[in-house]
Amino acid sequence: MAAHLIAILLLTTIHHSAADDDRSSLLSFLAGLAPRSRLSLTNWNISPNICNWTGVSCHHSPPLQRVAVLDLSNRSLRGKVSPVLSNLSSLEVLDLSNNFLTGPIPPELGSLSGLKQLSLSSNLLSGNIPFQLGFLNFLVYLDLGGNQLTGQIPSTLFCNYSNAMRKLSLQYIDLSNNSLTGEIPFPSNDLCRLDDLRYLLLWSNDLSGSIPPTLSNSSQLEWIDLESNNLSGGLPPHIFNNMPYLQFLYLSYNNLSTEDLNPFLTSLSNCSRLQELELAGNGLSGELPPSIGDLSVNLLQLHLEENQITGIIHPNISNLVNLTYLNLSNNAFNGSIPPEIGRLRRLERFYLSNNRLSGKIPSSFGQIRQLGLLDISGNELSGSIPDSFADLPQFRRLLLNGNRLSGQIPPSLGNCINLEILDLSYNQLTGKIPSEIAGLQSLKLYLNLSNNNLQGHLPLEMSKMDMILALDLSCNNLSGMISPQLGSCVALEYLNLSKNSFGGNLPSSIGALPYLKVLDLSSNQLLGAMPDSLKASSTLRFLNVSFNNFSGIIPGEGIFTSLTESSFFGNPGLCGYNLAGITHCKPERDHRLGKLIRILVSVMGTLSVFASLFFIACPMMMKRLGRPKCRLPSFRRPVLEHMDSTEDFTFNHCSDYPRLSYHQLVEATNGFADTNLIGSGRFGRVYKGKLRTSTKIAVKVLDQMLDCTATQLSVSFKRECEVLKRTKHRNLIRIVTACSRPDFKALVLPLMPNGSLERWLYHTKRAELSLELAVRVLSDVAEGMAYLHHYSPVRVVHCDLKPSNVLLDGDMTALVADFGIARLVKGGGDDGGASGDFDQSFGCCISTSGLLHGSVGYIAPEYGLGGHPTTQGDVYSFGVLLLEIITGKRPTDIVFHEGLTLHEWVKNHYPNNIDSIISQELTLNLPSVAQHDPLYYKKIKRDLISELIELGLVCTQYSPSMRPTMIDVAHEMAILKQDISRLAVESSPILSNSSFDG
């Protein structure tokens, strides 16, 4: 009995001694870090139990109190990886990834005999990979990717001959994104086998040699990524015969070659789970064999671009019915596009550019309903553009340029209401520009119809393209005058109308385009003087008006100070100063007397016209004073000029609704009963109502509140009317009718069936707010705000973006509402209004603080310093809204309870303690993934939320100049929305069975 007790005491003493060694080693590691890095490890050396230290976990069975896991990933650590970590002799997991650690990897880590996972990825580590790491006999997971490691890969990583004939445990090897050289030292015999290897990631290095044939011994491989190296030799024909689990094979951008693709593709036909195959940017030649159709039916992406593949596109490629991405561009394919391509019903992006394809474009493209991008430019296609393109509801980019297409542009393309890019340039198209194409409001990036044989005038519908950035109609036979309505394309940066037959004067509205950088009008028949708006433009960087009939003096201001004579050649009537090759202007005589006479005559004529109008209009005005009903003003009359008259005034923007009187609004809302009240705010209350026609409406009644004077109330009413009247976007609330009397002012809006975002965040609908819905709503809001900042006819700064001002219609489309304190921007630079002047007639109604524009918690910090409202302030509010949705916490709760802004609170917890800030109600609707692989489900949900949080933190940065624009934000949200949609339709997870033993 005594001996037994002595043994227990001795064992306990040994364990305590070993635990003390672990403590000492951890503290030595801590001392080697930069002082600021230690702030994230503040509880080290405070708690007596090292098992409670941040990032430290201990064994729960003997040896007790010994460190089993040291996970310090994503903690912004700076310093070196200390060799003292090798003293943690019971360590099984060492994860120092995603930090700023420098220096070499200590060879001493090779003595951690029980280590199963070593992750040092995404640091700044340099030097060679120590061969001693090959002595980690139980290692399952090795990740050294994303560093600055050099030298060759030590052969011991793949085969330690001291343990020959023992099956190695490695399942995951990631050495990617370094500067490693030499060959891949895969075992060349059966002495060492990597039977359990599932992931081999060596992309973006400088590796050479061929793909090791013995790779075929690792039959469990799921992911092979050797992309962007200098690997050479032929594509291995038999390596993949015995890899039934292979899902991803990336061999692009090497020096691999073959003249016969058939053996390689045949070997892949056994890989029944293959999802992505990338062979781009190699030296592959020969024809595409019929075996292309024998690849896995699960294949989603196929990259064969930038090779030298010849022959026809074999129709068997249509067997790959689940393809979403197919890139065959920049090869030497000939023949016609096979009509069977229409069987690829899930295809989203298809690239065929820069080949030698001929024949007609098959109408079967219209069967690919998911197609969003089609690029078949740079070929020899002929015939007409098929009408079947109109059947593609997801179409966003269509590039047919550089072919031999003829006939007219089909008006049916106007049905592609999501089209952002349309390039039909360098073809042989004839006829007029269809008004249906000119009126496509979805065109956001560019429309290029240049170098064709188009005729006729510019359609007036072009003024609807208020979001387009570039318009190129050059080298056609277009004629007539340049319409002043083209000035409504307010987002235009590039406009090329050269080499046509346009005549008449150049409208001043062209020069007034607020973002125009390039304007080419050369080789036309334009006449008259240079508009003053051109010299006043602050954005114009290039101007060419050569070979026209312009006359008068070339201004010496603005863009004209930096132009050369080549911009004005071929205009005999132009003269200038100090421009070689241009006629020098002669000094004008003094004609002040003649000018004065002309002015007096003009004034007298104008007065006589006004007098006549007064005597005609006066009796009519007297009659109208007795009429009590609301009336609809003329379409061309400024809508707001009579808002404060004694009449019961109404204006109407939608023919689906009748003109409404005050009494009809009383009747529809049951006398503005409290039971119909659905919201209230600074300027009044919102009531739901129902007209006699059963149409449901929302009536926003403006009221005299404590923090606004009657004047401010009137200004707010006018401002909201003005914004709603002059903006139109699917993500902005539209106005139905407005009614104004001295004692009553109301806006009539469509009733949103799903209420406001506020309701979904904090009331009965919170449990139904999924991550997918949250991303959809945020994407809609971002699109609406991007329109207000950058594309609307008048730039608008909202000033009060928050959940209660985001409404949801029946389809859960989000609409930005409540422009009561918005600011209208008269002009501005490239910042979309950040530096523009504000229309002071619509000055902002300040809050109770007397300074701040907006609502507490959403107000940008610069507003608290008396700054003017800017688009960057709206970006800040959007960021707060985003973080609020993710966390489920009001920004005011954080301010009042913890003294922090929502930005500061999230930043303090992210990324180290992300789970504590994510709202538990945010679910990701991927039930099959959650059930099949809960770890993967958790990972993709965490990744999506991490991207949202990072976007929210960027938007809410303290410095306005560091925040993105709403265009950038909308783009990021659109990508996230597409990612979620793609995940929702995938039948199996990308990383299924991705958990590791130990």
Q: What is the pLDDT of residue 825?
A: 52
Whether residues 821 and 949 share a domain: the answer is yes
Q: What is the pLDDT of residue 230?
A: 94
Whether residues 795 and 904 share a domain: the answer is yes
One of 95, 800, 818, 933 is an active-site residue; which one?
A: 800
Whether residues 937 and 876 share a domain: the answer is yes
Of residues 885, 727, 750, 741, the one with CA closest to residue 807: 750
Look up tokens 């553009």; give the residue. 385
Look up tokens 């892949």; give the residue. 268
Tokens found for residue 776: 């959809």
How many other CB atoms are found less than 10 A from the CB of residue 164?
Answer: 12
Q: What is the DSSP letter of 476?
A: S
Helix axes 934-955, 871-887, angle to 10 degrees: 150
Domain boundary among 721, 751, 781: 751
Domain boundary among 720, 735, 751: 751
Cβ pair 478, 456 in contact under 8 A: yes
Q: Cα separation of 43 and 47, whole Å?
A: 6
Q: What is the pLDDT of residue 12?
A: 41
**Residue 245, Cβ density class (10 Å: 0-12 exposed, 13-18 middle, ≥19 buried):** middle
Look up tokens 């059963």; give the residue. 694
Number of domains in the chain: 2
Residue 770 lies in a domain: yes
Whether residues 762 and 743 share a domain: the answer is no
Note the Cα 25 to chain centre separation in Å.
Answer: 46
Q: Cα separation of 820 and 510, whole Å?
A: 32
**Bond preceding residue 63 cis, omega within 30 of 0:** yes
Q: What is the pLDDT of residue 740?
A: 67
pLDDT tens digits along 771-798: 889 999 999 999 999 988 887 777 788 8
Helix axes 902-909, 934-955, angle to 10 degrees: 140
Whether residues 835 and 948 share a domain: the answer is yes
Task: Compute the radius of gyration of the chain from its Cα atoms.
Answer: 35
Of residues 977, 973, 986, the one with CA closest to residue 937: 986
Q: Cα separation of 853 and 865, whole Å?
A: 11
Q: What is the DSSP letter of 545?
A: -
Whether residues 795 and 919 share a domain: the answer is yes
Q: What is the pLDDT of residue 996?
A: 31
Whether residues 838 and 737 share a domain: the answer is no
Q: What is the pLDDT of residue 722?
A: 60
Cβ pair 972, 979 in contact under 8 A: no
Look up tokens 């269509």; give the residue. 398
Q: What is the pLDDT of residue 611?
A: 40
Write out the H or E segment, with its range, that includes residue 824: strand 823-825
Q: Cα separation of 229 and 180, whole Å?
A: 10
Q: Cα separation of 293 and 316, whole Å?
A: 5
Cα dist from 723 to 514, 709, 719, 840, whole Å: 19, 21, 6, 14
Residue 550 lies in a domain: no
Residue 502 lies in a domain: no
Whether residues 699 and 712 share a domain: the answer is yes
Determine the residue type at 234: G
What is the DSSP pairing of strand 795-797 with strand 823-825?
antiparallel
Owning domain of residue 986: 755-998
Whether residues 884 and 769 share a domain: the answer is yes
Tokens found for residue 998: 């130990």
751-789 exposure pattern, b = at least 16 Cβ within 10 A, e = fewer: bbebbbbbbbbeeebeeebebbbbbbbbbbbbbbbbbbb
What is the DSSP pairing of strand 583-584 with strand 356-359?
unpaired
- Residue 376 φ/ψ, nearest 5 degrees: -120, 35
Whether residues 796 and 914 share a domain: the answer is yes
Q: What DSSP letter does each residue of 489-517 carry, written as one string?
A: -TT-SEEE--SSEEEEEPPHHHHT-TT--
Whether residues 867 and 729 share a domain: the answer is no
Tokens found for residue 668: 């529809």
How many other CB atoms are found less than 10 A from the CB of residue 46?
Answer: 8
Cα dist from 676 to 474, 662, 663, 680, 744, whole Å: 58, 17, 16, 12, 18
Q: Cα separation of 589 and 750, whole Å?
A: 63
**335 has which bridge partners?**
357
Cα dist from 361 to 42, 337, 364, 389, 445, whole Å: 66, 7, 9, 10, 24
CA angle 152, 157, 160 (to 5 degrees): 120
Q: What is the pLDDT of residue 930?
A: 62
Cβ pair 761, 830 in contact under 8 A: no
| Sequence-distant (≥ 6) Cβ neighbours of residue 288 within 8 angstroms | 261, 304, 309, 311, 312, 313, 314, 317, 333
Q: Is 339 left (phi over 0), alpha (psi -120 to 50) or beta?
A: alpha
Q: What is the CATH number of the domain that holds 721?
A: 3.30.200.20
Write out the H or E segment, with its range, that includes residue 382: strand 380-383
Q: Cα separation of 995 and 998, whole Å?
A: 9
Q: Cα separation of 442 and 787, whole Å?
A: 12
Tokens found for residue 965: 């624009």
How many other CB atoms are found less than 10 A from the CB of residue 291?
Answer: 18
Residue 954 lies in a domain: yes
Q: Which residues are annotated as a binding site for ATP?
A: 700
Residue 932 lies in a domain: yes
Q: What is the CATH number of the domain that holds 972?
A: 1.10.510.10
Of residues 58, 119, 118, the one with CA closest to residue 90: 58
Q: Cα separation of 646 and 648, whole Å?
A: 7
Of residues 367, 361, 300, 357, the one with CA closest to residue 332: 357
- Residue 327 φ/ψ, nearest 5 degrees: -125, 110
Q: Cα separation of 125 and 120, whole Å?
A: 8
Cβ pair 731, 644 in contact under 8 A: no
Domain boundary among 751, 769, 786: 751
**Bond preceding residue 911 cis, omega within 30 of 0:** yes
Residue 836 lies in a domain: yes
Enumerate residue ranges in the chain where pLDDT < 70: 1-19, 160-168, 190-191, 578-581, 587-659, 680-684, 703-727, 740-743, 763-767, 819-854, 864-867, 894-899, 927-933, 935, 984-998
Look up tokens 């039959």; give the residue. 219
Q: Is 800 one of the catalytic residues?
A: yes
pLDDT tens digits along 693-726: 777 888 888 764 434 445 555 555 565 566 666 6
Q: What is the pLDDT of residue 491?
A: 85
Of residues 888, 855, 883, 853, the one with CA closest to residue 871: 853
Tokens found for residue 916: 């504590």
- Tell me the H-state helices in 740-870: 757-762, 771-786
Cα dist from 295 to 285, 346, 502, whole Å: 19, 16, 55
Cβ pair 845, 823 in contact under 8 A: no
Q: Cα separation of 574 and 568, whole Å?
A: 8
Q: Cα separation of 967 and 421, whole Å?
A: 16
How many other CB atoms are found less than 10 A from the CB of residue 982?
Answer: 12
pTM (global) more than 0.75? no
Whether residues 890 and 830 share a domain: the answer is yes
Cβ pair 548, 524 in contact under 8 A: yes
Tokens found for residue 595: 């000018």
Q: What is the DSSP letter of 135?
A: G
Of residues 301, 303, 304, the one with CA closest to residue 323: 301
Q: What is the DSSP letter of 650?
A: E
Helix axes 902-909, 891-898, angle to 10 degrees: 80
